[in-house]
Amino acid sequence: MVSFASFSPRNLLNLLNLLTRYYNCKNTPLKGAEEWRIFIDFKFHGMNTESLKSLVADGQTGKALETLLEYSRAKGLPHLGQSVQLLQARHAKYQSNESLGLLDYRDAQLTLNQINAAVLELLGGDLEKDLPPPVTVNRNGRRNWLAMLGLGLGLMVLIFLVIKWSTKSDSFSLTVFVHGTAGPQERLLKNEGKVALHIGQDLREATINEKGEADFKEIPPEFAGQNARILIVHPQPYQSTHPDSLYELRAGAAIYLEVALQNLGKISGTVFDFDSGDLLQDVRVSIRNADVYTDRHGWFELEIPAGMQAKFQRVSFEKAGYVFQQIDSIPVHTQQELEVALTKKKK
């Protein structure tokens, strides 16, 4: 038996959140869920600047902007809407660059802080008095309960229809096999990183499993036959060897994505005297038979031939009058400049 209390705004939101989490787990976002959540918030709770600031503080800047845009449309505030849309574009570009690994941690934090500061500045202006105060629902009024009951039933029917529409049986799946340049049998990334599927404006990600594969489940049927860009998302600079290639999406298709570690072609740094700190000129820096000499500033840049490139290198440093030094396992792909100190030979 269903009681009136079961149609309270809190219960409706809880139901919507449960359904959203369930379909997110299946890599099939519940379409329209966010719009209904915003509608329920405005209808029953209202919205004020403090709740929006809390969303920003909790790392939900995107949701805060969506809510603010919905409010500007509902209230007929075109200038506010334009400002919010500009911030949404900046936030979307930040998310895209971060997912593609184009931003290091410092730049990512700086960009996000700038966007958040702009949102908070917008909320701190005249907007404070334009936003409605929280609405108190009179739970003792029979008319309010009947209105709430009617809205609750309508929402539940609509949510049911959305679920039916979003789980069509003709959705499809595909698998991306991530491998190295030696061929499909070389599975470089097992339980490491993600694969990003770009279909127009749609972006989907799947985690690479223990077999070096990324499984995309329940792709909407309208994407069948379309071409997509497929890229790798990894903390180290792994990239597709053919980043501009397009792959046709077909039900049950197996796509092979060749990747390689980038930034392996050069190593650089300075060499100095251990005792005096003076920069050393004419130090021979070598990786096997590839070598270079430091200039008068102690600086070197050693180009590594393609056939000798590797994730880690053993680098030798030698100069007349100094102790020969060899450093193992230098991570070339990090592109960090080396600082090497040589000690004079004892007479």
pLDDT digits (tens, 9 = 90+) for 153-208: 677 767 666 665 555 557 888 899 999 888 888 888 888 889 998 888 888 899 99
Model confidence at 21: pLDDT above 90: no
CA distances for 215 relative to 68, 191, 205, 268, angstroms: 35, 13, 9, 39
* Tally of residues, the chain: 347
Q: What is the pLDDT of residue 148?
A: 60
Which pLDDT band holds residue 22 (cuts at 50, 70, 90)?
A: low
As given in the structure block, the two tokens for residue 39 are 């509608």
Which of 289, 243, 247, 285 shows the shortest CA–CA distance to 262? 243
Phi, psi of 194 (to 5 degrees): -135, 165
Give mean pLDDT, residues 73-90.
Answer: 80
Q: Residue 111 pLDDT > 90, yes or no?
A: no
Ordered domains of the chain (ranges, CATH): 4-166 (no CATH), 172-261 (2.60.40.1120), 266-342 (2.60.40.1120)
**Model confidence, pTM:** 0.40
Structure tokens given for 44: 């029953």
